[in-house]
Amino acid sequence: MAQRSIEIIVGLFMIAGLAALMFLALQVSGLSPKSAEQTYTLYANFNDTGGLTPRGKVSMAGVTVGSIESITLDRDTFQARVTMSIHAEVDNIPADSAAVIRTSGLLGEQYIDISIGGDLESLNPGDTFYSTQSAMNLERLISNFASGR
């Protein structure tokens, strides 16, 4: 076969490989082209984070509005301090909103749901949620129920 047609076929082969990689990136892993999104940081303290993990999602009314950066232990209060990065366009979260840990489905992963408050002022970058609700711990619930407390 002529050198030129071989070159064309090899070029098409390489393009097919790149297209496959693009497909894996965009369609399979859901990487959006504007991944370098502007975010700001909010904090929340929980008594019990349960199975919450970094990179988990933060949602509001079921819509993902950010992700969990890190989970650390506060040495003074012995509470878990969760750092969240929230998309910059969601900058009007009312200041008395609560961060609640929920589970998606019965056995799914845990995420933070922000239940909206009614305050006219909104949370600024670096603020901490005033009210939080820890993960529902089924074992603790049952033992509380059994001991009648």
Partner 1 sequence: MMDRIAGLGRLGLAIIASFGRSGQFLFGVLAGVPRPATGFPLLVKQLYAVGVLSLAIVVVSGLFIGMVLGLQGYTILSDYGSESAIGQMIALTLVRELGPVVTALLFAGRAGSALTAEIGLMKATEQLSSMEMMGVDPLRRVVAPRLWAGFLAMPVLAMIFSVVGIYGGMLVGVEWLGVFEGSFWGNMQSSVDFVDDVLNGFIKSVVFGFVCAWIAVYQGYDCVPTSAGISSATTKTVVYSSLAVLGLDFVLTAVMFGDF
Applying CB under 8 A, the residues found at the interface with partner 1 are 3, 6-7, 9-10, 13-14, 16-17, 20-21, 23-25, 27-31, 55
Q: By C-beta, is 3 or 92 nearer to partner 1? A: 3
Q: CB of 125: closest distance to partner 1 in angstroms?
A: 26
Residue 3, helix vs strand vs coil = helix
Q: How far is the CB of 60 from partner 1 (least distance, A)?
A: 17
36 to each of 33, 39, 88, 117, how far by Cα in Å?
A: 8, 9, 11, 29
State how far the alpha carbon of 136 is from the alpha carbons of 48, 93, 116, in Å: 9, 24, 20
Least distance from C-beta 7 to partner 1, angstroms? 5
Nearer to partner 1 by Cβ, of 56 and 134: the residue is: 56
C-alpha to C-alpha distances, 128 to 34, 37, 61, 83, 139, nearest whole angstrom: 27, 22, 20, 9, 29
Of 16 and 142, which has the nearer Cβ to partner 1? 16
DSSP at 74:
-
Q: Which two tokens stand for residue 65?
A: 């509005």
Spatial contact of 82 and 58, defined as CB atoms under 8 Å apart: no
- The CB-of-69 to partner 1 minimum distance in angstroms stands at 15
